[in-house]
Chain A
Amino acid sequence: MNLTKEWRTFKAVFHRNLKLFTSYNAWIVATLIWPIPLLAVNIYSYRALGTDASISSIISRDFGISNFAGMIIIGTIVYLLYNRLLWGAGVSLQSERWMGTIEALFVTPASRMTVLFACGASSVIEGAWWIGCIFAMSWMIFGVEPSIASWLAIALGILSTMVALISVGVFFASFFVLTRAADQLASALQAPIRFFSGVVFPVSALPQLLQFISYILPVTYGIQAMRKAVLTGGDVASISFELVLLYVFALVLTIAGYFTLRALETQAKRKGTLYMY
């Protein structure tokens, strides 16, 4: 592997994506408006059942999470991040199709995997803006007070979650190479992932059988790590299990993604479907 070549590819794709992303101004407004009602729907669903203190005490007693609004906000942030990175990396090849540039890109000797990781990484910038906005607005609107003991744990939690979620996007990208219908598959998975990863409730509230599904999803571990680090004063040691699993997911999905991408790209080139809208 020629690292200079990969770095050039990575930088160019990253820079291009930022340029394309910032060339549309509407996203700034969209990211400010869209997440708040999404959070409010879930938070007020809980508030309809009692006071903040009474609901938090039940959730704390049964599931060890002290702040129900914080639980929802962290879950939603990680879920939105998953969405952003899935669409950022996974759908990047579909976007090339829409822009009419996929052939131009695929006739270059640039590594597909590097292109995909760069797309994922550039989505992190957008994701970071979302995280910042949601945190700031949640604090102002819903009065959430984080309980942070280790900033390092938070930083590692965010980083590890992002790495794992970019790998999910890279894995999904191979299906976007094969078929333009892959976005329907990705869309169809959104609601189940939101449910099974416990975005607005603790996974332990699910029946045992369903929890098995939850624990094969990287989003679940990302949410758990971030809830511990932000809401319960968890340090690096207390989230180490989740961190290790997130990197295992990242490794497995990247390797699987590499081979799947190669196989499906060849298949798409045989069928001539690579360039169809």
Chain B
Amino acid sequence: MAIVSALTERAFAARRQRDWDQLDALVRTAQARGLKRLTPDAIAALSPLYRDVCADLSRAEAARYSAPLIDYLQGLTADAHTVLYGHARGRWALAGGGSTWRVAVEAFPRAVRRHKVAMLLAFVLFFAPFFAGLFATLYDPSFAIRIVPEAQLRPLVEAYKEGFSSGRGSGMDAAMAGFYVNNNVGIALRCFATGLFFGVGSAFYLLENGLATGAIMGYVASKGAGDNILTFVVGHGSLELGAIVLAGGAGLALGWSIVAPGDRTRIASLQATARSVVIVVFGAAVMLFMAAAVEGFWSASALPALVKRAVGAAMFLVVTAYILLAGRGSDQAAAVERAEGIDRWT
């Protein structure tokens, strides 16, 4: 296969250099300031320039021009490709024409229901040890000491015995809210991430947190501060415990996708499931932020116990109804899921 009258490398480079420089400048600008900041003329020029440089690269390779020239063209092509083929943005808004916000609010509970087996399993893995720990401690308070160090339990009992009549300083409220964000959201994210190991990590976090939470509540109750801790927990409990369960369920779904990949390869199954459940993790994180605010500023406040319990019950109903009902039969959310290829779990 002889290409008879091809250019010498020098003539080729001299002839094409102007276009290369132009594309190079455009790509650098787009990288530094974003594609949207280019002028309309520049954007119109970008695509044909890119195609020409692709052709130049093919030509240079076929003609066996020198390595530095081919390297340069490859680098230029690669960078232009990265600029030109951005990742698919705005699919949420495109699919239904409605607001991204509404799609996000509907996508979260829909994803939870899509993976309902994993979520139910997570629920059992958390609440079975929770009640086991609770009743075991109520029956015999020394049980809690085997789960949680006594040095941690004693100050808790004292704090809850004192009640909330004086409230906390608003500064302490803020410090505690910060602590809850840092600690609880971190736990939820780890609970999800470690599900990657066939779900074992998530299961462990769920069991451990369920058992410890149950034991602590049982211990405080057995020391006669049961009413107070219930009043404290009821406000944020549905958000906080719900979010841990959901994050753990997402982790279990991730782990199960490796164990039973169905008709995909294991890695493809893992990636598809991750795409599908990641919205649950985002949702759980948001729930925990809300729980931290409630726990920091509301649960320990000096409001009457009756108000706190009524609000807590209402919160429980709202959270449950949201997870079970929101976004059912939403055509827009379904269209988005189809577009993202995550509608296969039913």
The answer to whether A and B interact is: no
Interface residues of B (CB under 8 A from A): none
Interface residues of A (CB under 8 A from B): none
